[in-house]
């Protein structure tokens, strides 16, 4: 009974990453809903059964003789065709159209499954249900790691997820050992149940270790230079912000207050984006530093007349929220030829939002400072309700 409960807990842990993105966007009311696929565990479960049916004869027959070799090759090709939709299911929308990447991942998944089945052939070959569950556990761990790599943008959030899985693995491992089980059974002598429980445990450990490695690889450059452009922050579809596009972003000021503002994308760098901010505050008295934007020309992009700040600002990739549209050609040509676009004024220290504690907090999906939407009212304070925007 204890072994059954431990196996159920491990199965739930392996299945959870297949259902949805591992991270939430910073502002849930402003970005799109993260990608969810509630039917993924069932689809992977069915695909695992089919893959076990295809891989098991390959492991048993082997590449012995010309006829057997062709049979095994045909079965492996069919296995890749079954693995492809599973890999595509857990991939983000921006990668679903990359046929070569999806095919390469499907081949890798089949190779891992074939290797595990070859190692456990003697134990799981006697019981089809055990063999299918072993294939499911391995496939869920590999696909869950793929999803974590694709969706795990904030490294400290991903590291915390890896730590939770590691703690679960430690607890279940102690439970299994305390009840007389073993985590390294002999495939030739162990029962199918013991092999199954061991594979579930090692799959959870592998998933946890893979998430931790991915988090560490992303955390080091994040803390050194800032959030990367890849993968895309959770909750955005159109990515990365194209040059000439208008986006809403969290623009941080020197006093650490930040506010959502439309910005015009000028240039990408490895750690941030150079933009021009747009404001609706009248700047007619400072025409040398601002460019008037007429609503008639920006229809569908802006909601009212605005002013374009000609001083370049730097914004981390993680602070972009959603896309509005494209800059009109006339304004873009004016910026490239005649407008007095200038660099940010030299000041002591890095640009706002780029000090170490800014980068550290952003790696946790947090923000240093105060939201400028918060305003004082009499003795207390109130927060202006953020409006939602469904379209991107």
Q: How confident is the model at residue 264 (pLDDT cuts 50, 70, 90)?
A: very high
Dist. CA 342–CA 236, nearest whole Å: 29
Geometric angle at alpha carbon 157, from 154 and 161, rounded to 5°: 135
Cα–Cα distances (Å) from 370 to 15, 79, 248, 252, in that order, read: 38, 53, 18, 10
Whether residue 383 contacts residue 373, with contact meaning beta carbons closer than 8 Å, is answered with: yes
DSSP 304: S
Q: List the alpha helices (DSSP H) in 179-225.
A: 192-225
CA dihedral 292, 297, 302, 305 (to 10 degrees): 40
Q: Residues for the chain: how many in total? A: 392
pLDDT digits (tens, 9 = 90+) for 240-254: 888 989 998 888 877
Q: Which CATH architecture has domain 245-383?
A: Roll (2.30)
HEC profile of 212-233: HHHHHHHHHHHHHHCCCCCCCC
* Residue 163 scores a pLDDT above 60: yes
Q: How confident is the model at residue 108 (pLDDT cuts 50, 70, 90)?
A: very high
DSSP three-state, residue 340: coil
* Residue 377 scores a pLDDT above 50: no
Residues 167-192, mean pLDDT to the nearest whole number: 81
Cα–Cα distances (Å) from 107 to 83, 111, 138, 172, 373, in that order, read: 8, 6, 14, 31, 50
* Residue 329 scores a pLDDT above 90: no
Task: Look at 12-21, 66-75, 250-259, 380-389 and tell me which has the smallest mean pLDDT.
Answer: 380-389
Whether residue 260 contacts residue 249, with contact meaning beta carbons closer than 8 Å, is answered with: yes
Domain ranges for the chain: 2-225, 245-383
Alpha-carbon torsion 127, 133, 137, 142, what sign? positive
Q: Which residues contact 5 (CB under 8 A, 6 or more apart)?
A: none
Q: What share of the chain is helix, strand, coil (3-state, %, to 5)?
A: 50, 15, 35
Kindly report whether the global pTM for this prediction surpasses the value 0.95.
no
């Amino acid at each position: 009974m204890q072994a059954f409960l431990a196996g159920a807990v491990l199965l739930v842990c392996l299945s959870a990453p297949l259902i949805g993105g591992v991270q939430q966007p910073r502002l849930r009311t402003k970005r799109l809903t993260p990608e969810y696929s509630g039917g993924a565990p069932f689809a992977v479960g069915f695909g695992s059964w089919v893959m076990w049916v295809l891989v098991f004869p390959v492991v048993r027959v082997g590449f012995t003789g010309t006829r057997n070799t062709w049979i095994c090759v045909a079965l492996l090709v069919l296995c890749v065709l079954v693995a492809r939709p599973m890999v595509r299911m857990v991939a983000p929308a921006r990668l679903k159209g990359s046929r070569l990447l999806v095919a390469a991942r499907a081949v890798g998944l089949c190779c891992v499954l074939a290797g595990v089945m070859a190692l456990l052939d003697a134990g799981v070959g006697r019981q089809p249900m055990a063999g299918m569950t072993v294939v499911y556990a391995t496939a869920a761990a590999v696909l869950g790691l793929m999803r974590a790599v694709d969706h795990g943008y904030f490294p400290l959030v991903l590291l915390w997820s890896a730590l939770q899985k590691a703690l679960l693995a430690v607890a279940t491992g102690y439970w299994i050992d305390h009840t007389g089980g073993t985590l390294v059974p002999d495939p030739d002598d162990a029962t199918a149940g013991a092999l199954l429980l061991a594979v579930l445990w090692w799959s959870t450990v592998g998933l946890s270790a893979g998430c931790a490695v991915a988090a560490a690889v992303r955390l080091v450059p994040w803390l050194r230079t800032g959030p990367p452009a890849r993968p895309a922050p959770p909750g955005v579809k159109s990515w990365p912000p194209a040059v000439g596009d208008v986006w809403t972003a969290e623009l941080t000021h020197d006093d650490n207050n930040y506010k959502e503002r439309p910005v015009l994308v000028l240039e990408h760098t490895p750690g941030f984006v150079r933009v021009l901010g747009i404001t609706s505050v009248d700047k007619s008295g400072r025409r040398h530093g601002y460019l008037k934007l007429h609503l008639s020309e920006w229809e569908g992009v802006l909601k009212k007349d605005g002013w374009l700040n000609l001083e370049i600002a730097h914004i981390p990739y993680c602070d972009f929220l959603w896309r509005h549209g494209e800059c009109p050609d006339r304004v873009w040509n004016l910026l490239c030829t005649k407008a007095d676009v200038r660099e940010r004024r030299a000041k002591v220290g890095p640009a706002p939002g780029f000090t170490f504690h800014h980068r550290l907090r952003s790696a946790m999906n947090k923000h240093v400072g105060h939201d400028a939407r918060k305003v004082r009212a009499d003795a207390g304070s109130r927060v202006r309700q953020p409006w939602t925007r469904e379209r991107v």
